[in-house]
């Protein structure tokens, strides 16, 4: 069994903790006086951040957990409030006194610590990395996040389901389409309608295009971090072209706010673009294959073992590169359009790099076969109360969204971004690599900070 | 390698908006007169994300792709606030980033300016105030509008800002 998510809900007179597994759902009701529950972290280490988040937001205590430090409550965040409880309605809180956060550090003769972040040297999102070093070698890395914690889940509570579409679009810019499609699926379930196949195909095209953009960006940045700059110049041009194609299709470079009752896609533009992309990609693949200095950095760097990938319940391309067969697209709908799961073996940077190229080729093929002329429409309205969830394979991995509607408004929204799982296993890949390889490994994962922090 | 050069010559120069060069050169001349001491003919920008959705960052990264090639205008992103003239601030300013963003601002040498990137900093864009959002109270000198602003919007915004500083 793979743990997908563990999250809590405030039922006014009690708390409910819900565990989502890949083939099971477990529910626990906890009294408000003394909310405690046994931890899952011993069996599922990736439950750690989920439990810490629940602890910070609801005040539920997990017994026998190996780490009880705060996660969303940083140094200046008041520790005695539980903001996700229904009784908490403040929009403004005051800073508390500075309380030091104890990092995981390895101490010893000639060992030292390198703190990195939260504001980084490049143009990336904020997050903190604490390295324990023995010279060049990394002994341990602690990843600390939630600098971008915006409380999106709380923000959406009490709003009508259709009113939060714009927020859902902007949870994580790189996965916007995936978020929107996942949320649309939930709304369709709630209004009891079946999404017409042609519309499904059209949104799947956008989803694949988003994946292509994400992969292309990485294909440039990964070699760049290995000191091969011309690959970045080449691939950043290609990803710019992909963004422009997205702009022509959806009128937005990231595809924000594209959930509509109907969708018209201009296939001529798309096909013209895909033709060029295919040529570029074949050239790129052959070109980069012949650069030994790049592969010298790629191979055996940042290895995620299959054992760890399964233990942590890794998702997305990262898991597939380590030989774990997991993909939400592994179903009849996608297979009828030529979907083939791309699975690697070695789990290193090089494997993730080649897998990205292979996935783009597969996405191109699917987009070509998904194009349809029929236009059907849906109307999302009359949402029935209840609990709904959906899974979507975003460009990073399996995205899970849970929505509970009560009295016509959002009662609880829970989002489990693929990055939330993959960040937690990140430190296992980096042991005994040199610190200069960190950016390379980080880019080969390419996880979202905004989606993780919410 | 031969294939690479062949491809390189075939694709030629992709950079667009060459017309901006002229405009920028004109501004640069004036700039040199008025704030030569401060900018020395080039702008150094420190990008700080205080809680965006990452779209603004993606667009900033796009600025250095061959289509826009921002550095040819003498504008570059630097790795330390101590090298920066301008802080480019994206995001809603979360509770947890507040002190770090101010830290970064205080590390910048005078004279310094803050440019808000995207709608988040000014009015939270589509988001709403929650306990985890503090809101920006850094002294913002200029806002580049958009959600997210496209790379061209960013370049035009920076030019507009420079013009206002003449």
- The percentage of residues in chain B with a pLDDT greater than 70, rounded to a whole number, is 81
Q: Which residues of B touch A121 (CB under 8 A)?
A: 79-80
Top pLDDT among B48 and B122 is at B48
- A8-to-A26, A57, A120, A148, A298 alpha-carbon distances in Å: 12, 9, 33, 21, 40
Q: In what order do the strands lie in the sheet with A112-116?
A: A112-116, A128-134, A137-144
Q: Which helix (H) or strand (E) holds A145?
A: none
Q: What CA dihedral angle connects A331, A335, A339 and A345, to 10 degrees?
A: 50
Give the pLDDT confidence of A116-160 residue by residue, as tens digits.
878 888 888 899 999 999 988 999 999 999 999 988 898 888 888
pLDDT at residue B25 above 80?
Answer: no
pLDDT at A400: 92
Confidence grade of residue B23 (pLDDT, cut at 50, 70, 90): low
Contact B128 A154 (CB under 8 A): no
Contact A254 B58 (CB under 8 A): yes
Query: Do residues A57 and A170 share a domain?
Result: no
Confidence grade of residue A211 (pLDDT, cut at 50, 70, 90): very high
**Cα distance between residue B115 and residue B105, in whole Å:** 12
Mean pLDDT of A330-343: 89
Mean pLDDT of B118-127: 84
pLDDT at B27: 59
Shortest CA gap A61–chain B (Å): 22
pLDDT at residue B96 above 60?
Answer: yes
Contact A150 B51 (CB under 8 A): yes
Confidence grade of residue A51 (pLDDT, cut at 50, 70, 90): very high
Query: Do residues A59 and A178 share a domain?
Result: no
pLDDT at residue B35 above 60?
Answer: no
Tokens of A215: 């992969």
Mean pLDDT of B119-126: 83
Contact A151 B104 (CB under 8 A): no
Mean pLDDT of A36-46: 89
Asked if residues A150 and B31 have their Cβ atoms less than 8 Å apart, the reply is no
Give the pLDDT confidence of B77-91 residue by residue, as tens digits.
888 888 888 899 998
pLDDT at B18: 59
SS3 A25: strand
Mean pLDDT of A280-291: 87
Alpha helices in chain B (DSSP H): 2-11, 18-39, 55-62, 98-107, 120-123, 151-164
**Cα distance between residue A160 and residue A407, in whole Å:** 10
What's the CATH number where A198 sits? 1.10.645.10
Enclosing domain of residue A236 = 152-453
Contact B133 A151 (CB under 8 A): yes
pLDDT at B152: 81
Asked if residues A128 and A102 have their Cβ atoms less than 8 Å apart, the reply is no
Quote the DSSP letter at residue A402.
E
Mean pLDDT of A349-376: 89
Query: Do residues A26 and A166 share a domain?
Result: no
Shortest CA gap B33–chain A (Å): 31
Contact B96 A146 (CB under 8 A): yes
Residue of A nearest to B45 (CA): A123
**Cα distance between residue A256 and residue A206, in whole Å:** 11
pLDDT at A355: 92
Tokens of B154: 């960013």
Instruction: Report the DSSP pairing between strands A36-38 and A61-63.
Output: parallel
The interface predicted TM-score of the complex, written ipTM, equals 0.86
**How many CB atoms lie under 10 A from the CB of residue A64?**
8
Contact A77 B66 (CB under 8 A): no
Q: Is residue A130 part of a domain?
A: no
pLDDT at A360: 92
Closest by Cα among B63, B67, B30 to B45: B63
pLDDT at B161: 82
Q: Is A347 exposed, middle or buried (0-12, 13-18, 19+ CB in 10 A)?
A: buried
Quote the DSSP letter at residue B17.
-
Q: Is residue A310 part of a domain?
A: yes
Confidence grade of residue B105 (pLDDT, cut at 50, 70, 90): very high
Tokens of A87: 């009784």
Confidence grade of residue A227 (pLDDT, cut at 50, 70, 90): confident
Give the pLDDT confidence of B46-67 residue by residue, as tens digits.
999 988 888 889 998 888 888 8
Q: Is residue A107 part of a domain?
A: no
Top pLDDT among A199 and B40 is at A199
**Cα distance between residue A268 and residue A272, in whole Å:** 6
pLDDT at residue B13 above 60?
Answer: yes
pLDDT at residue B36 above 60?
Answer: no
Q: Is residue A127 part of a domain?
A: no
pLDDT at B28: 54
Give the CATH number of domain B40-164. 3.40.50.12280
Residue of A nearest to B65 (CA): A236
Domain count, chain A: 2
pLDDT at B110: 83
Give the pLDDT confidence of A425-450 residue by residue, as tens digits.
999 998 888 888 888 999 899 899 98
pLDDT at B38: 53
Confidence grade of residue A233 (pLDDT, cut at 50, 70, 90): confident
Give the pLDDT confidence of A386-423 residue by residue, as tens digits.
899 999 999 899 999 999 998 888 999 999 999 999 99
Choose the final residue of a domain: A38, A67, A100. Answer: A100
Residue of B nearest to A125 (CA): B49
pLDDT at A422: 92
Q: Looking only at Cα atoms, what is the longest distance across chain A?
A: 70
**Cα distance between residue B137 and residue A202, in whole Å:** 43
pLDDT at residue A358 above 60?
Answer: yes
Mean pLDDT of A347-358: 91
Alpha helices in A226-321 (DSSP H): 229-250, 267-289, 292-298, 306-312, 316-321
pLDDT at A33: 87
pLDDT at B21: 63
Mean of all residue pLDDT scores within chain A:
89
B33 φ/ψ angles, rounded to the nearest 5 degrees: -65, -50
Query: Do residues A258 and A340 share a domain?
Result: yes
Question: Which one of A126, A144, A215 makes the best mutation probe of the B interface by having the most chain B beta carbons within 10 Å?
Answer: A126
């Amino acid at each position: 069994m793979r743990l997908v998510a563990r999250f809590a809900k405030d039922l006014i007179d009690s708390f409910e903790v819900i565990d989502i597994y890949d083939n099971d759902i477990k529910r626990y009701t906890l009294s408000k006086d003394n909310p405690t529950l046994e931890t899952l972290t011993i069996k599922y280490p990736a439950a750690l951040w989920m439990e810490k988040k629940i602890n910070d937001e609801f005040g539920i205590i997990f017994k026998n957990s190996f780490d009880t430090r705060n996660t969303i409550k940083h140094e200046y965040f008041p520790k005695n409030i539980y903001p996700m409880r229904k009784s908490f309605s403040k929009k403004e809180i005051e800073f508390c006194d500075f309380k030091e956060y104890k990092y995981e550090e390895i101490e010893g003769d000639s060992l030292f610590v390198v703190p990195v972040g939260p504001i980084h040297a490049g143009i990336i999102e904020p997050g903190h990395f604490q390295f324990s070093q023995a010279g060049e070698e990394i002994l341990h890395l602690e990843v600390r996040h939630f600098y971008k914690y915006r409380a999106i889940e709380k923000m959406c509570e009490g709003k009508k389901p259709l009113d939060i579409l714009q927020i859902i679009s902007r949870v994580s810019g790189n996965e916007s389409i995936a978020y929107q499609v996942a949320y649309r699926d939930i709304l369709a379930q709630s209004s009891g309608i079946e999404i017409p196949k042609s519309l499904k195909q059209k949104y799947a095209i956008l989803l694949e295009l988003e994946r292509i953009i994400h992969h292309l960006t990485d294909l440039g940045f990964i070699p760049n971090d290995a000191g091969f700059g011309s690959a970045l110049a080449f691939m950043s041009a290609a990803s710019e072209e992909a963004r422009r194609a997205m702009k022509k299709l959806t009128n937005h470079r990231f595809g924000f706010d594209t959930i509509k009752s109907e969708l018209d896609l201009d296939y001529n533009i798309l096909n013209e673009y895909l033709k060029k992309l295919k040529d570029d990609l074949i050239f790129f693949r052959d070109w980069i294959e012949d650069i030994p200095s790049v592969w010298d950095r790629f191979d055996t760097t940042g290895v995620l073992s299959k054992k760890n990938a399964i233990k942590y319940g890794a998702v997305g391309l990262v898991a597939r590169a380590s030989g774990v067969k997991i993909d939400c697209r592994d179903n009849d709908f996608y297979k009828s359009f030529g979907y083939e799961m791309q699975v690697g073996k070695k789990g290193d940077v090089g494997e993730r790099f080649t897998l990205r190229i292979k996935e783009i080729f597969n996405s191109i093929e699917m987009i070509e076969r998904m194009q349809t002329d029929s236009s059907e429409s849906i109307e999302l309205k009359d949402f029935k109360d209840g609990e709904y969830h959906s899974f979507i394979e975003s460009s990073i991995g399996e995205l899970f969204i849970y929505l509970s509607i009560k009295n016509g408004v959002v009662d609880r929204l829970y989002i489990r971004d693929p990055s939330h799982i993959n960040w937690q296993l990140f430190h296992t890949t980096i042991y005994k690599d040199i610190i200069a390889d960190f950016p390379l490994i980080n880019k080969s994962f390419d996880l979202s900070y905004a989606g993780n922090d919410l | 390698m031969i294939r690479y050069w062949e491809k390189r010559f075939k694709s030629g120069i992709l950079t667009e908006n060459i017309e901006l060069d002229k405009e920028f050169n004109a501004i640069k001349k004036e700039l040199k007169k008025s704030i030569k001491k401060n900018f020395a003919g080039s702008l150094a920008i420190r990008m700080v994300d205080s809680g965006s959705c990452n779209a603004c960052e993606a667009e900033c990264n796009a600025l250095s792709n061959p289509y826009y090639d921002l550095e040819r205008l003498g504008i570059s992103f630097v790795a330390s606030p101590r090298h920066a003239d301008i802080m480019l601030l994206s995001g809603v300013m979360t509770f947890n980033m507040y002190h770090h963003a101010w830290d970064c601002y205080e590390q910048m040498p005078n004279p310094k300016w803050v440019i808000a990137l995207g709608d988040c900093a000014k009015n939270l864009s589509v988001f709403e105030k929650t306990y985890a959002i503090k809101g920006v109270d850094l002294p913002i000198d200029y806002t580049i509008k958009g959600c997210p602003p496209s790379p061209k919007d960013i370049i035009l915004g920076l030019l507009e800002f420079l013009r206002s500083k003449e």
